[in-house]
Structure 1
Amino acid sequence: MIDRNAVAAYLDRIGGEPPAVVDAAALRRLHRAHLTAVPFENLSIHLGEAVSLDPDALVDKLVRRHRGGFCYELNGAFALLLEALGCRVTRVAARVFDGDQLTPPFDHLALVARPVDGSGPWLVDVGFGRHSVYPLHFAERAEQHDPGGQFTLVERDHGDVDVLLNGTAQYRVERRERTLADFVPACWWHATSPDSHFRRGPVCSRLTADGRVSLSGRRLTVTGVGGRAEHDLAGDDDALVAYREHFGIDLAAPPAVAPGDRREARTSAA
């Protein structure tokens, strides 16, 4: 649980008004505000910084240092905020679809939230890169329309639920409640293993008012109502400016990028 000062600072960080009560409408506002203010990023891995899931470390990184993180950090911190505002939150593990294959357990952390108004339960996920702008009704099996696309939740064996975006499976959620500590080994693997895709190159991405802005390696991509524009940054100075202007991240030095590596890193836990 985080204290009142941390809650106020967190809400200020995401530009959200303190809700009188966290009902479904407030949850939607907070979800979108988080996605637009706090980027999905793996910069710590390429800056030589430790990745910690300790609650104080999460709040320090996202709120006080104005950074982002990947799924364990983003959803881990957002769960703390929602709980402090009176929402009941269940942390659930997910396996990500890589084509027709599923990645190992604990590859992704998602949340199931139950606001005080009795609505939901809602699948909350501010840590999967391109995903739903608003929470998805976790008990609804009809197609759910969202600015991020058409989402469908499908029952699977053992009570698991597949999350589909425009007909393509994204990840499979298990219903069992987990603690944040359960995800520490998987987080460590993603941060340290040479086989982790997060180690291929730095990526930073966030939702915008009409699209998304991403910096993958040294390639800046902006999408919106006007279409898609991308270009390669000339060097480190341009990268530092891009991190600051597009993501509010002020770095002393940019993360290293392998020469010639312009691949667009995946903005998910797998």
Structure 2
Amino acid sequence: MFDAARYMERIQAPADASLATLHRAHLESVPFENLDIHLSRPIRLDTDALFDKVVTRRRGGFCYELNGLFSRLLTARGYRVTPLSARVASDARDGTFGPEFDHLTLQVEDGGEKWLVDVGFGEGFLEPLRLDERGVQTRAGRDYRLAADGAGLLLWRDSEQGWEAQYALSLVPRALEDFTGMCHHHQTSPESIFTQRRLCTKATPKGRVTLKEGALVITEGKERRELTVLDEDSRRRALAEYFGVVL
């Protein structure tokens, strides 16, 4: 059963946390990971099941799980939340995108403004973006911008290679159950990036820690360390030590 107080404890957020504080606390506490897919454990878009996984068992998940559950917490705290569908860029520069419902993100109304909230995109923005702003928005030292794209928006992120598209965002209101089909696809299709390799990543106060196939990558500011992870025992130890994940 959903318990907002236990969820707040899970993400180590104070009772009076703002939307931005909740967003960042979530990203620094709950990893983006696809491990259940590689353990052949079905993912169901059910709030009780998601709460048990993320809060009770202290796991992470991918966008449908993390944003789906986070929307429930925000609603419990009085925010008006609207799930939105996004199509993830297949290549950051060639203008191709995935299908509708490829990614679940959130529109949240707070303080008379609409915000783009996303705790399920791996290495994404750490604090919400203003949905109605078309100029550059800087979050934790990285620049983002939302550009008009027909009836929707394109999310761009600045990088060393220049501006890169992240996803094409539809502003049509959706419901969590609308994402069931693509959630199943990403769990089962050999074409899905989530079935091709394991990943566990989480923001930290100083940067990011990522466990990928064969390596643990730790970034702090501009410093990057990559440690070889050769076997499954080492992988399990890294999951427990850096992410608090025990399978």
Contact 1:132-1:148 at 8 Å conserved across structures:
no
Matched, 1:62 2:62: no
What's 1:12 paired with?
Answer: 9
Q: Could you tell me how far 1:17 is from its partner in structure 2? A: 1.0
2:139 to 146, 154, 165: 146
Residue matched to 1:127: 120
Which of 108, 111, 115 is the equivalent residue of 1:113? 108
Under a length normalisation based on structure 1, what TM-score does the superposition of the two structures give? 0.86
1:155 aligns with 2:145: no
Conservation of the 8 A alpha-carbon contact between 1:92 and 1:174: yes
The aligned runs of 1:47-58 (5 Å cut-off) are 47-58=39-50
Picking from 89, 102, 108, the partner of 1:97 is 89
Aligned residue type for 1:16: A
Displacement of 1:225 in angstroms is 2.7
Q: Which amino acid aligns with 1:170?
A: Q
Q: In the TM superposition, what are the counterparts of 1:1-270 in structure 2 within 5 Å?
A: 3=2, 6-19=3-16, 26-99=18-91, 100-115=95-110, 117-118=111-112, 120-147=113-140, 149-157=142-150, 159-166=151-158, 167-225=163-221, 227-251=223-247
- Opposite residue 12 of structure 1, the aligned amino acid is E
Shift of 1:206: 0.3
Instruction: Output the aligned Cα RMSD.
Output: 1.2
Give 1:234 deviation, angstroms. 2.9
Structure 1: give runs of 5+ residues left out of the alignment. Answer: 252-270
CA contact (8 A) 1:131 1:148 kept: no
Q: Point out the structure with the larger strand share.
A: 2
Deviation per residue, 1:118-153 (Å, 9 max, x gap): 2x2000000111111100000011110111610111
SS at match of 1:58: helix
Q: Once the 2 structures are TM-superposed, how far is the Cα of residue 218 of structure 1 from its aligned partner?
A: 2.7
Identity %: 43
Structure 1 residues 148 and 190: CA distance shift in structure 2, 3 A: farther
Give the number of equivalent residue pairs: 240
